[in-house]
Structure 1
Amino acid sequence: MTKIEQYIIEEIKTMRKKHGLTQLELSQKLDMSDSFISHVEAPSKRAKYNINHLNMIAQIFDCSPKDFWPEKPL
Structure 2
Amino acid sequence: MAKEVTPKTKIELEIVQLVKDRRAELNRTQSHISDLLGVTRGYIGQIEMESSPSMYSYDQLNELAKYLECSMRDFVPEHPL
Shared fold (TM-score, shorter chain, > 0.5):
yes
Which ranges of 4 or more aligned residues in structure 1 deviate by more than 6 Å? none
Looking at structure 1, the residues matched to 36 and 17 of structure 2 have their Cα atoms a distance apart, in angstroms, of: 19
- Structure 1 window deviating more from structure 2 (20-29 vs 2-11): it is 20-29
> Percent of aligned pairs with the same residue?
35
The question of 1:32 aligning with 2:39 is answered: yes
| Structure 1 runs not aligned, ≥5 long | none
Q: Deviations over 1:1-51 (max 9, x none)?
A: 111000000000011111111111211111112312111001122210111
Alignment of 1:1-74 (within 5 A): 1-74=8-81
Instruction: Give me the whole-angstrom Cα distance separating, in 2, the residues matched to 1:37 and 1:9.
Output: 10
Instruction: Give the number of the structure with larger relative contact order, counting CA–CA contacts within 8 Å between residues 6 or more apart.
Output: 2
Tell me the matched-pair count: 74
The root-mean-square deviation of aligned C-alpha atoms, in Å, is 1.0
Unaligned runs of 5+ in 2: 1-7
TM-score, scaled to structure 1: 0.91
Q: Which amino acid aligns with 1:38?
A: G
